Amino acid sequence: MMDRFIDTIEWLAAAFVGIVAMDIFVSVLLRYFFAVSIPDSYDFGKLLLGILIFWGIAATSYRGGHITVDLLWSAAGPRGKRLIDIFATLVLLFVVTVQTVMLFDKVRLTYQDNVLTYDLRIPTWPFALVAWLGDVSAVLLIAIRTWRLIFYPLSMTEPHAEKVLD
C-alpha cells in the first residue's frame, strides 16, 4: 500500500515534467511557425515550473536521488553510514516541513489577494495549491523514508528491486 502511494507521487511528478515540456514545445512551435502566442503562456510556464519543482522534491527525496556529498559517508562503516543517512533525512524532513508551512501561507495570501494571470485573468492560487500539495507529499515521503531508515533499514537498500524482475 505504501509503495503504491510512493509510486503515485513519482508518477505525478513525471506527469508535471511532461506538462511543462509540452507547454514549452507548443509555445515555441506556435511562436516560431505561426507568430502566435498562447495567452498567459509565460505565467502558465512559471506556475507550472513551480509545481514541477515541488513535486520533483517529493519524488527525489524518498529515493535519495537528490544531490549529496558523500565524502564522509563513503569513509564511514555500515553503522556510521546508517546514522549519517538518518541524521541527513531528519534535517531534510525539518527543512521541508518548515518550507511547507511557509508555502501554505503563500497559497493563502495568493488566494486572499486574488492574484490573477496577466492576459486571461485566471486566479493563480490553484497553481500554488497544487505546488503546496507536492510539498506536502515531500514531507510525507521524507517521513516514510525516515521511518524506514530507522526501523526497516534493509527495505531502503534496494528500492523496488523486486519490481524490476516482474
The whole-number pLDDT of residue 161 equals 41
In whole angstroms, give the CA distance from residue 32 to residue 109: 37
The whole-number pLDDT of residue 67 equals 59
C-alpha cell at 18: 511532461
| Residues linked to residue 116 through DSSP beta bridges, in sequence order | 123
In whole angstroms, give the CA distance from residue 149 to residue 82: 7
In whole angstroms, give the CA distance from residue 35 to residue 55: 33
The whole-number pLDDT of residue 69 equals 66
In whole angstroms, give the CA distance from residue 70 to residue 68: 6
The whole-number pLDDT of residue 26 equals 92
The whole-number pLDDT of residue 164 equals 41
b/e burial code for range 42-56 (CB count within 10 A of at least 16 → b):
ebbeebbebbbebbb
The whole-number pLDDT of residue 159 equals 46
| Residues linked to residue 123 through DSSP beta bridges, in sequence order | 116
In this prediction, the residues of the chain whose per-residue pLDDT falls under 50 are 159-166
- What stretches of 35-124 show up as alpha helix (H) in DSSP? 41-63, 71-75, 78-112
CA-nearest of 37, 30, 89 to 60 is 89
Question: 127: how many CB neighbours lie within 10 A of its CB?
Answer: 21
